[in-house]
Amino acid sequence: MASVDFSPLSLRRAPVRRSAQLLIGLVLYGVSTAILSRSLLGLFPWGVLTDGLVKRTGLTFGTLTAIISVFVMLLWIPLRQRPGIGTIANIVVISIAVDLTRAIVPDQHILGWQIALMIGGIVLNAIATAVYVGPRLGPGPRDGLMTGLAARTGRSIRLVRTGIELTVLGVGWLLGGTVGIGTVLYALAVGPLMHLLLPFVTWKSAEVPQPV
């Protein structure tokens, strides 16, 4: 498997700001995943798969999030994708943040609280994704699989992503994962929200003076 990207682009340019932004984004992503799961109104496709495996294995949501991420990274090997610091941090930080948040926030059965957690989880997830992608310190395991398959097959990223997520959603649903209105709203809202937010949080190399 390709080595982790510890190149100057990943570490030496604005390391403090970019690392802090990455960490904040990943923590918020884990929190958003957890509160969305506690709404019981539906999860995003990978969350549905994780939820289904939780019900089948009894392992924690965070543990299975990490296991799935490692498995997905193994699929990078034939695609010759190169992980970055953000890739490894993605696996560790999100899985911890998910379990810590789920330990605090219980399942909700009152509709008002369910709707609040669902909407809050979706919006926070979009913000978190933009924030952790912005530093450009390496794709998440699932993002790397998507871009690698797109490059190998010559298909558009949108088509490849749709294919992956429909497959994952179907498997997760068959395993008993929670599919609902939250799943639909997530699919409709997260992309446009990220599109609006990314220009404000994306790191640009021009911000750092180049060596003479």
Cα separation, 149 vs 57, in Å, equals 29
Residue the block writes with tokens 């490894």: 88
CA distances from 152 to 4, 72, 147 (A): 21, 16, 9
pLDDT tens, residue by residue, 33-83: 999 999 999 999 999 999 999 999 999 999 999 999 999 999 998 888 888
pLDDT above 70 coverage of the chain, percent: 90
Domain boundaries, the chain: 18-202
The average pLDDT across 105-113 equals 97
Residue 5 pLDDT > 50, yes or no? no
Give the lowest-confidence range in 59-68, 124-133, 175-184, 187-196.
187-196
pLDDT of residue 207: 45
Average pLDDT, the chain: 88
